[in-house]
C-alpha cells in the first residue's frame, strides 16, 4: 500500500483517555502509522500522553496541530471563524488524501474547512453530535428525541442534563448581565468545569438556530458517513444523506492473550461477591444517577458490588448516599489492557444508559473476554446483546425492572456465569481498519 497523508479531526487525541470515541481515533491512527502513512491530527491543546505514539511524533509521521484552547471545546457547536481559516490553511498545506472526522467537540469550523477542501471527507458517527447540541438525542425523558428544532433544543439545554438553577437563569437574562454574573460566580466557585458549563449554556442559548444551521447542512457534504451502530445511520439518513453514502461497520477490539492477564484476579467458582463493572462517565445520559437511585431501593445484605473506574470516581463516591455506597467501590482509571483484566475478574459489565447508545466500546471488550452485559434495552446496544443469552436487557429508566433484575442476580449468581459460554466478539481493530480502508479506496475512486 502506497503511503499517503491523512487527517483526523478529534478534539482530544490521547490513548489514555477512556471511552470508545477517543480510543477509536487512536486505534485507527496507530494502524495507519504502522502502515507507513503520515497522520495529522487537528485537535485542541488538551494536555496529552501519547505513550507508544511518541516515537511516531518524534520522527514526524504523526503531527499534532492544536487549533483551539481545550476550554473552548465545551462550546461544542459554536462556529469559530478564526479556527475555520486556520484549518483551511492547514488542510491546503498538508494536501491529504482523506480527512476523517471523529470526536469533533468545538471543531465545527475545521469540519467546514474539510468539506470545502479537495480531499474526500469521512464522518464517523460515534454519537448524534452532528444534529444534536447535547450529542445524544436525549431530552431528559425515556423516549428518544425526535430531532432538533431551535425552540425544543433551547428547552432541552436549559431544563435537562442536570444544569444548576444558576445556569438556567443565565439563559433568560441579557448577555451583559449574564457574563458579569458568570465572572462573579467564578470568584466563589473555583471549579473550572462549572464555569465552562455556565459559559457553554450562555453561548448556545444566544442563538440556537445559528448553531443548528452550521451543523446539519454538513451531513450531505461528507463523501461517506461511517456508523458503528444501525440506529445512527437510520437517524442520520433523515437529514439529507444519501443511503449509498452510509456504511455500517461495527468497530473492533484489541485481541488479548489470556496468558498476558493476571489469572489470580479471576474469581473462583464459589461466590463471595458478585462483581459488576461500570465503565464510563457519570453523566446523566449514561444512567449512572438513575442507577444510584436503584441501589438506594435495594435491601441490605446483598452480595452485589459495582466497581467504578475513573479519575473522579473516588470524589463522586462522597456525593452519594450511604445507601448507595453499600454497593459501590471506586477505583482508579483503567488504561489499555487493564480494562480487559478487570472485566475478566468480574461477573458482568453494567450499562444503564438512558440514550440510544452507539455500540459502546466497553460492550465489545466485555464480550471479547467472555463476560455478559447487563444493559438498558437500547437500539445502540440490543443489536449485540440477546436477552438471557449473552446478557440481560432491561427497560431504560425503569427503576422497578432494574431492581428486580439485580435482586434476581443476587439470588442466582449462576445466571451470569452460565451466559459466559455465549459471550464472544472476535473482530479486531485490524479487521475494522481494513474495512475502513476498503471504503476509503472505493470512495476515492468515484
Residue 7 burial by Cβ neighbours in a 10 Å radius (0-12, 13-18, 19+): buried
What does DSSP say about strands 5-9 and 38-44: parallel, antiparallel, or unpaired?
A: parallel
* Residue 200 pLDDT: 64
Q: What is the pTM of this model?
A: 0.87
Position 86 pLDDT exceeds 90: yes
Q: Is 121 exposed, middle or buried (0-12, 13-18, 19+ CB in 10 A)?
A: buried
Q: How far apart are CA 154 and CA 114, in angstroms?
A: 28
Q: Taking 60 as the threshold, does the pLDDT of residue 264 lie above it?
A: no
Average pLDDT, stretch 112-140? 92
Work out the number of other CB atoms within 10 angstroms of the CB of residue 403. 18
Over the stretch 290-328, which tens digit does the pLDDT of each residue have?
999 999 999 999 999 999 987 677 777 888 889 999 999
3-state helix/strand/coil string of the chain? CCCCEEEEECCCCCCCCCCHHHHHHHHHHHHHHHCCCEEEEEEECCCCCCHHHHHHHHCCCEEEEEEECHHHHHCCCCCCHHHHHHHHHHHHHHCCCEEEECCCCCCHHHHHHHHCCCCEEEEEECCCCCCCCCCCCCCCCCCCCCCCCHHHHHHHHHHCCCCCHHHHHHCCCCHHHHHHHHHHHHHHCCCHHHHHHHHHHHHHHHCHHHHHHHHHHHHHHCCEEEECCHHHHHHHHHHCCCHHHEEECCCCECCCCHHHCCHHHCCCCCCCCEEEEEECCCCHHHCHHHHHHHHHHCCCCCCEEEEEECCCHHHHHCCCCHHHHCCEEEECCCCCHHHHHHHHCCCEEEECCCCCCCCCHHHHHHHHCCCCEEEECCHHHHCCCCECCCEEEECCCCHHHHHHHHHHHHHCCHHHHHHHHHCCCCCEHHHHHHHHHHHHHHHHCC
Average pLDDT of the chain to the nearest whole number: 87
**Residue 190 scores a pLDDT above 60:** no
Which residues have a Cβ under 8 Å from the Cβ of 349 and sit 6 or more positions away? 276, 277, 278, 279, 343, 362, 363, 366, 371, 372, 373, 374, 375
Residue 414, CA distances (Å) to 132, 263, 284 in order: 41, 20, 31
Question: What average pLDDT does range 208-219 have in this prediction?
Answer: 88
Please report the pLDDT score of residue 199 as a whole number: 66
Cα angle 13, 16, 17 (rounded to 5 degrees) comes to: 65
- Domain map (residue ranges) of the chain: 5-135+211-252+428-444, 162-206, 258-422
Average pLDDT over residues 126-147: 85
pLDDT score at 399: 96
Q: What is the per-residue pLDDT for 186?
A: 65
Question: Is residue 269 very low, low, confident or very high in pLDDT (cuts 50, 70, 90)?
Answer: very low
- How confident is the model over 370-384, as a mean pLDDT? 95
**pLDDT computed for residue 195 by the predictor:** 62
Mean pLDDT of 179-188: 71
Phi-psi region of 52 (alpha: psi -120 to 50; beta: other; left: phi over 0): alpha
pLDDT value at position 201?
A: 65
Q: Confirm if 388 and 405 have CB atoms less than 8 A apart.
A: no
Looking at the chain, the whole-number percentage of residues with pLDDT higher than 70 is 88
Reading the block at residue 230, the C-alpha cell is 444501525
pLDDT higher for 438 or 338? 438
Residue with cell 484476579: 265
Contact 135, 157 (CB under 8 A): no
- The residues, any chain, with a CB within 8 Å of residue 2's CB and separated by 6 or more, are none
Closest to 24 in 3D by CA, of 373, 429, 342, 353: 429
Higher pLDDT among residues 201 and 335, named by residue:
335
Quick one: CATH architecture of 5-135+211-252+428-444? 3-Layer(aba) Sandwich (3.40)
Residue 3's nearest CA partner among 37, 34, 32 is 37
pLDDT-derived band of residue 438, with 50, 70 and 90 as boundaries? very high
Q: Which residue in the block uniquely carries the three cell numbers 452485559?
A: 373
Terminal alpha carbon distance of the chain: 19
Q: What's the CATH code, domain 258-422?
A: 3.40.50.2000
pLDDT of residue 220: 94
Q: What is the spatial distance between Cα 46 and Cα 444, in angstroms, rounded to a whole number?
A: 32
Picking from 17-21, 126-130, 143-147, 343-347, which range would have the lowest pLDDT averaged per residue? 17-21
Of 12-21, 200-209, 405-414, the one with minimum mean pLDDT is: 200-209
Contacts of 400 (CB under 8 A, 6+ apart): none
Instruction: Give residue 360's pLDDT.
Output: 93
Amino acid at each position: 500500500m502506497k503511503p499517503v497523508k491523512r487527517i483526523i479531526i478529534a478534539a482530544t487525541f490521547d490513548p489514555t483517555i477512556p471511552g470508545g470515541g477517543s480510543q477509536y481515533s487512536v486505534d485507527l491512527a496507530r494502524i495507519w502509522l504502522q502502515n507507513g502513512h503520515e497522520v495529522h491530527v487537528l485537535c485542541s491543546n488538551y494536555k496529552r500522553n501519547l505513550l507508544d505514539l511518541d516515537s511516531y511524533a518524534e520522527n514526524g509521521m504523526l503531527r499534532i496541530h492544536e487549533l483551539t484552547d481545550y476550554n473552548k471545546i465545551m462550546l461544542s457547536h459554536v462556529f469559530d471563524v478564526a479556527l475555520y481559516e486556520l484549518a483551511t490553511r492547514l488542510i491546503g498545506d498538508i494536501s491529504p488524501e482523506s480527512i476523517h472526522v471523529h470526536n469533533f467537540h468545538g471543531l465545527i469550523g475545521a469540519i467546514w474547512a474539510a468539506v470545502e477542501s479537495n480531499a474526500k471527507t469521512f464522518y464517523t458517527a460515534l454519537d448524534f453530535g452532528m444534529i444534536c447540541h447535547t450529542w445524544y438525542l436525549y431530552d431528559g425523558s425515556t423516549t428518544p428525541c425526535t430531532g432538533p428544532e431551535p425552540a425544543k433544543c433551547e428547552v432541552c439545554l436549559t431544563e435537562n442534563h442536570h444544569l444548576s438553577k444558576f445556569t438556567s437563569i443565565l439563559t433568560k437574562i441579557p448577555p451583559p448581565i449574564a457574563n458579569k454574573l458568570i465572572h462573579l460566580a467564578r470568584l466563589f466557585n473555583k471549579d473550572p468545569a462549572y464555569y465552562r458549563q455556565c459559559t457553554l449554556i450562555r453561548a448556545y442559548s444566544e442563538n440556537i438556530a445559528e448553531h443548528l444551521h452550521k451543523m446539519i447542512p454538513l451531513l450531505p457534504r461528507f463523501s461517506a458517513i461511517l456508523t458503528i451502530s444501525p440506529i445512527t445511520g437510520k437517524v442520520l439518513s433523515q437529514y439529507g444523506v444519501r443511503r449509498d453514502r452510509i456504511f455500517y461497520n461495527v468497530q473492533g477490539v484489541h485481541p488479548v492473550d489470556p496468558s498476558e492477564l493476571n489469572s489470580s484476579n479471576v474469581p473462583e467458582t464459589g461466590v463471595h461477591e458478585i462483581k459488576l463493572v461500570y465503565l464510563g462517565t457519570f453523566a446523566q445520559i449514561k444512567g449512572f444517577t438513575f442507577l444510584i437511585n436503584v441501589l438506594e431501593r435495594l435491601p441490605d445484605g446483598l452480595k452485589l458490588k459495582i466497581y467504578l473506574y475513573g479519575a473522579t470516581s473516588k470524589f463522586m463516591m462522597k456525593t452519594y448516599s450511604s445507601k448507595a455506597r453499600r454497593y459501590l467501590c471506586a477505583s482508579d482509571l483503567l488504561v489499555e489492557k487493564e480494562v480487559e483484566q478487570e472485566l475478566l475478574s468480574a461477573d458482568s459489565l453494567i450499562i444503564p444508559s438512558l440514550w440510544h447508545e452507539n455500540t459502546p466500546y466497553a460492550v465489545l471488550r466485555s464480550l471479547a473476554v467472555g463476560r455478559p452485559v447487563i444493559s438498558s434495552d437500547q437500539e445502540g446496544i440490543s443489536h449485540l446483546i440477546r436477552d438471557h443469552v449473552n446478557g440481560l436487557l432491561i427497560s431504560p429508566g425503569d427503576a422497578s425492572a432494574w431492581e428486580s433484575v439485580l435482586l434476581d442476580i443476587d439470588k442466582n449468581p449462576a445466571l451470569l456465569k452460565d451466559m459466559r459460554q455465549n459471550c464472544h466478539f472476535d473482530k479486531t481493530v485490524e479487521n475494522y481498519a481494513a474495512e475502513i480502508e476498503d471504503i476509503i479506496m472505493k470512495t476515492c475512486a468515484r
